[in-house]
Structure 1
């Protein structure tokens, strides 16, 4: 019997993926703290490095070169990544409140969300100006502007509001890139005009006179209008107004000024300064709540005020990580004093930069190369993740976390030899607290359900209905129990929908790693909250379940469904089985494939975070409406894609139908990144078993080298529906599926008359000339 790993004793929750928090993750990755779990909550999976943003806008770097993959970094650090937006704090319950998921408990938390441009402080700016933060929104607008300039001739007037280093650097980068695009198209760069507006008497007010003079000269040489002492008070479509009443024309307005703290912070107990930033002491703890830390632009270090600059956020990574570690282990925290002077490297867009520090001013192309070297080295720390060696892999069983008497008893119990049988159940009080707030959907047929104190559920079968039963169970493949619960429920419901049935009731079975009662309770609550959202949306009543201890988190459901039947119990024609394929029909797949290889790659740090985001979004999409749509378009056979992969499930359909089938490899809808991970040789552990079905492919040897061939065997989790539809209904069916949100639904093949050969599956590549 294996001894369990060190249980979770304390939770550190990191809110935001700023420069400081990536440093914290890296330090905990290199030296884990036994018993301490990190959770990163961030709306965006890829966080930009602000120092390289102008270079990205100027076209010197690709998107991935200037972004840190937070999901991948969190996986490397052994931290959980929750893709959501924080909207509040419950200080009494010690919970972080999120926009779309249940609250997340913390023992210590840290906030590193950057600043928020206050466009709403100026009339019309919120509607007509583009704030540079959040950067993902700015990037979307920037890409739109790029395309508009390239494809539509005519004058474009760009205005940047903000005369600090950020505004000047961004304007010059935009001008450089857009001008080069026009030159490449043999058009006149004079179509573009740029203007800079600042309420201050001078640009770059925190830099020395020589630096300002250099940039004023650069702006003049590049024919940029500079409006100093111009306070913008109104913004409208195509123009902006200064305090003196003068209107200035502008087709695109970028806002790089008036930053403040996020609005939700005002509703917390945290002490804020006049601009809404969190006031912190020398240990980076909030002055009003020592369990809350803050760093980067969102923090205002009261004893050492500094301007908002990325250099401070980067350098706070180490002291913040050390103090968070000290806070959860009961050791003294150490003060941090930021440097009084710092080096700023400001680019001019054209691979030229200026170095500014105190009275120093150095300029030249070599400064840009120096800046590029520094930036590339910084990014390599977080994107080129080395394999763990030595002590980093040896999380000792002895934890330094300070526990009270009750917690210590629970921790000793959690790491002791555990009982089997009913002794391995999760405690009744823990389970009842976790499930007490869950509200399953009501169904008239449920006579005894989840919250009734009985040994089993009692469910009535309505007249004219027959029961459909299915069961699915698997261990967690991601570290977010809420999302895992949603995927597990969708996966279990897939069999019901594929047969044309409606889901009626579900019984859950779960295993949860042992640990402190509060941690186990939250895991069950998070997981079942996600599952219940899916079940309730499907009008499926959760009527009971069983939760036991296990080494890994796992969840499954036994689901009952209802399907039409006559008085003698015979099924109606609306039932879809695997044996209903008919020659001449087309094969429709409602979701893209590739989950097996992608999550195998994720476990090896070989997948980009956005690939995993897209895969999870697909897996969380219910197949309920897709199944109804397929029936409306006269589908005669259907199955859901799961562990056997596309080929395995198609073979299961051809055998009872006594037909052959043809698949078009070029037509297969694939999840983003699946081809890349397959090409890298990263396969699911179930793939070898699925590959045994290759004997069902006619001329199999001719297709082995095709880049999409391995994806035929890729096991799917919560995959789409594979159905046969009359060819004359295919176009209308696809149009309806797309309208319902199944954007990647596609015709992937056709049903053939049975051939003389034993192999029922024919392959083709529609992109190749036949």
Structure 2
């Protein structure tokens, strides 16, 4: 028996903007029992607008000016969904996403920033680089800077459209960075030409007269060509066309004009202003839908309109957090009134800044830039210096947790709809998920028609006490099962990763999957929340199963303390076509299809030591199915194969070595490694299974020479949804690698050679 806080409400945050970042940190410091929080964001990190001009100018690295949302979500025990919200179903309280099933909510908050209004100008969308979303701007800019560095003698013409504060600061920042690259040793540069287009007579219309004139003088002194009172009417490839007839050739065109909002906000039924921004009251609450909140640039306070500036988004963090908590607890909300005047520190791109507040202005000054730099770094430090979690804390959703095979049914505890922190949950069959919940979820799960197989005699379409499948004549049946706790707090992605992991055993033996049974543990929650978690989980698993024409025919589910999932899979293979571990032959080469490192990376994530981009890469690898690789190996005459999972590369390789009675020479530099894995192992961060896996090290013939090599620990790193390791003839190897790369396995490598086993000599030699 076990006590837990069941999930009773879902709070969904759309967007990883400044306001949500602050609110998430506060939720981590002061969690709300019974509330599951989900963050839906297009990327695992979010840029801090205050440091972006400095990044463009070359003063900050990308990492220094981005908030790591994976680390923040991990600290706050928040489900992180990397996806794009494209709509709201307000009647059914669901967020519609681009690449995943709808996400249910009881309360939702929107902080997705704004986008430049480019639609009305022909060619702008196709040929200009918008300042927002910032991620796309930075991707273009970083690539551009790389190209310029490779050819610093080239002539460059830049066009910036929009003379507000954002356009002016961007112009000065990119000019400063490009001048440092292009200038000769004597500081002379005649190869850079920058044009700034603005429809008004003066720049920066929201600032006082002194600031406007000061920046205009700076731009003129730095030989930026100003085109004031020029309205851009068209953007052609490498050309800006104005209504006056002015045409200016530009190699790169940046669009930094008035902000707008995505259409789906208004189309969802939310009340918006003329530009599509969500209208909110003093509580940051939608004036039309009280369960919807909005903050940052995407929101307009009807009683206190303010410019779209990062300073207001930052200051909305605490009031949004407080009102979200109050709303979820059905308490009265607290009004928030933003200040009318605020201090702006605007960089000039050369290590100086100008201060502006109301009618006051001062600068440019290096001291002001150092002050701005101190403020910005202190802000970012709030997200890098979050308190560390206990490594034993689970990684799955805030309140994780399973059910059973072939027939889905069973009663649940009686007081599910009146949860209490001291609720005791039954064990045995009393822990199963209720039949009503299961029936509702399975109605929502639609298996593609490709899974309508004639050899499935009884499956989910007509549930019985067990599923029944037919084995064709002259075929053998392959069975496997895998089940483990969630290593990522997104049940939809976890379902996909688990399905890939479980099917890999089938593929590794040269078999074709026939059917699968699911085993799931779902976190304690009221019925609606159990159903939502199970739906997301099974949707992910079914997506992967359908790709290999494998129907889900049943399963078993229980409730528990944390989210866990697995599959029992069966496959079919002709006995003569089996790939076994015992098939390695001297003279063959070994090919590994995926990079190593998931064990150490997710151990590091538990300790908040992994960068978000490292986990992104690891997840991308785990979502890659081994199905195509297995077929490729068969086509290239592979005689032995295994999948690399919990025992690590060397552990699974030793199983092949002992079964085949051969020796192996491994090329350490050729072994593919995931980004960040070497860094985390060098910090001493390894999986809890690592020490057990390390026991096979005594099979290494030259252990004393290699055990201090920086790649050595990763030979024992347990993998989740790892790659296939196959032995095949040497003359087929290069062609096989080429085909694998075309099939989408970029990390595949020839990592070693099969040798004749010499008696009394350890069978593994590592070549550094």
Alignment TM-score, normalising by the size of structure 2: 0.95
Q: Can you list the C-alpha shifts for 1:631-686, whole angstroms capped at 9, x where unaligned?
A: 11111110000000000000000111110001111111111111111111111011
| Aligned match of 2:682 | 679
Kindly report which structure 2 residues correspond to 1:41-440, keeping only aligned pairs within 5 A, or say none.
41-152=40-151, 153-183=153-183, 189-363=189-363, 364-387=365-388, 410-412=417-419, 415-440=422-447
Moved more, 532-541 or 112-121: 112-121
Secondary structure of 2:537 counterpart? helix
Q: CA deviation at 1:416?
A: 2.7
Determine if contact 1:42/1:83 at 8 Å carries over to the other structure.
yes
* Pick aligned residue for 2:554 from 533, 544, 556: 544
Secondary structure of 2:558 counterpart? strand
Q: CA deviation at 1:417?
A: 2.5
Distance in 1 (alpha carbons) for counterparts of 2:556 and 2:63 = 44
* Pick aligned residue for 1:606 from 601, 605, 609: 609
Determine if contact 2:75/2:388 at 8 Å carries over to the other structure.
no
Q: CA deviation at 1:749?
A: 0.9
* Pick aligned residue for 1:445 from 444, 455, 461: 455
Please list every run of 5 or more consecutive structure 1 residues that lacks an aligned counterpart in the other structure. 398-405, 565-570, 766-770
Secondary structure of 2:203 counterpart? coil
Determine if contact 2:75/2:389 at 8 Å carries over to the other structure.
no
Q: CA deviation at 1:120?
A: 2.1
Determine if contact 2:179/2:192 at 8 Å carries over to the other structure.
yes
| Aligned match of 1:6 | 5
Q: CA deviation at 1:150?
A: 2.5
Secondary structure of 1:748 counterpart? strand
Q: CA deviation at 1:411?
A: 3.5
Determine if contact 2:283/2:333 at 8 Å carries over to the other structure.
yes
Alignment TM-score, normalising by the size of structure 1: 0.95
| Aligned match of 1:665 | 668
Distance in 2 (alpha carbons) for counterparts of 1:680 and 1:231 = 56
* Pick aligned residue for 1:561 from 559, 568, 571: 571
Detail structure 1 runs of 4+ shifted over 4 Å in the superposition.
184-188, 406-409
Q: CA deviation at 1:421?
A: 1.9
Distance in 1 (alpha carbons) for counterparts of 2:760 and 2:368 = 70
Q: Can you list the C-alpha shifts for 1:141-176, whole angstroms capped at 9, x where unaligned?
A: 112221232233332110101111111011111000
Secondary structure of 1:652 counterpart? helix
| Aligned match of 1:401 | none
Distance in 2 (alpha carbons) for counterparts of 1:41 and 1:407 = 33
* Pick aligned residue for 1:689 from 686, 689, 692: 692
| Aligned match of 1:516 | 526
Q: CA deviation at 1:186?
A: 7.8
Q: Can you list the C-alpha shifts for 1:468-520, whole angstroms capped at 9, x where unaligned?
A: 11111111111111111001110000000011110000011111122100110
Q: Can you list the C-alpha shifts for 1:240-277, whole angstroms capped at 9, x where unaligned?
A: 11111221111110001032001222321101111111
Distance in 1 (alpha carbons) for counterparts of 2:421 and 2:564 = 18
Kindly report which structure 2 residues correspond to 1:560-599, keeping only aligned pairs within 5 A, or say none.
560-564=570-574, 571-572=575-576, 574-599=577-602
Distance in 2 (alpha carbons) for counterparts of 1:388 and 1:631 = 46
Determine if contact 1:323/1:334 at 8 Å carries over to the other structure.
yes
| Aligned match of 2:468 | 458
Q: Can you list the C-alpha shifts for 1:270-327, whole angstroms capped at 9, x where unaligned?
A: 0111111111111111111111000000001111111110000000000000000000
Secondary structure of 1:120 counterpart? coil
Name the CA shift for 1:256/1:421 in 2 (closer, same or farther; >3 Å): same
1:615 aligns with 2:618: yes
Distance in 2 (alpha carbons) for counterparts of 1:151 and 1:686 = 45
Q: CA deviation at 1:436?
A: 1.3
Secondary structure of 1:410 counterpart? coil
| Aligned match of 1:496 | 506
Distance in 2 (alpha carbons) for counterparts of 1:531 and 1:386 = 34
Distance in 2 (alpha carbons) for counterparts of 1:697 and 1:187 = 58
Distance in 1 (alpha carbons) for counterparts of 2:389 and 2:9 = 23
Q: Can you list the C-alpha shifts for 1:119-155, whole angstroms capped at 9, x where unaligned?
A: 2221000111000111111111112221232233332
Q: CA deviation at 1:189?
A: 2.3
Distance in 1 (alpha carbons) for counterparts of 2:750 and 2:537 = 35
Name the CA shift for 1:408/1:219 in 2 (closer, same or farther; >3 Å): farther
Name the CA shift for 1:295/1:371 in 2 (closer, same or farther; >3 Å): same
Secondary structure of 2:750 counterpart? strand
| Aligned match of 2:645 | 642
Q: CA deviation at 1:190?
A: 1.5
Name the CA shift for 1:415/1:497 in 2 (closer, same or farther; >3 Å): farther
Q: CA deviation at 1:187?
A: 8.6
Secondary structure of 2:225 counterpart? strand
Determine if contact 1:407/1:516 at 8 Å carries over to the other structure.
no
Q: CA deviation at 1:456?
A: 0.7
Determine if contact 1:7/1:411 at 8 Å carries over to the other structure.
no
Please list every run of 5 or more consecutive structure 2 residues that lacks an aligned counterpart in the other structure. 399-412
Q: CA deviation at 1:622?
A: 0.5
Give the total of aligned pairs.
744
Determine if contact 1:661/1:749 at 8 Å carries over to the other structure.
yes
Q: CA deviation at 1:415?
A: 4.5
Name the CA shift for 1:737/1:388 in 2 (closer, same or farther; >3 Å): closer
Determine if contact 2:6/2:420 at 8 Å carries over to the other structure.
no
Determine if contact 2:388/2:608 at 8 Å carries over to the other structure.
no
Distance in 2 (alpha carbons) for counterparts of 1:635 and 1:76 = 45
Name the CA shift for 1:432/1:409 in 2 (closer, same or farther; >3 Å): closer
Distance in 2 (alpha carbons) for counterparts of 1:347 and 1:507 = 59
Determine if contact 2:583/2:639 at 8 Å carries over to the other structure.
yes
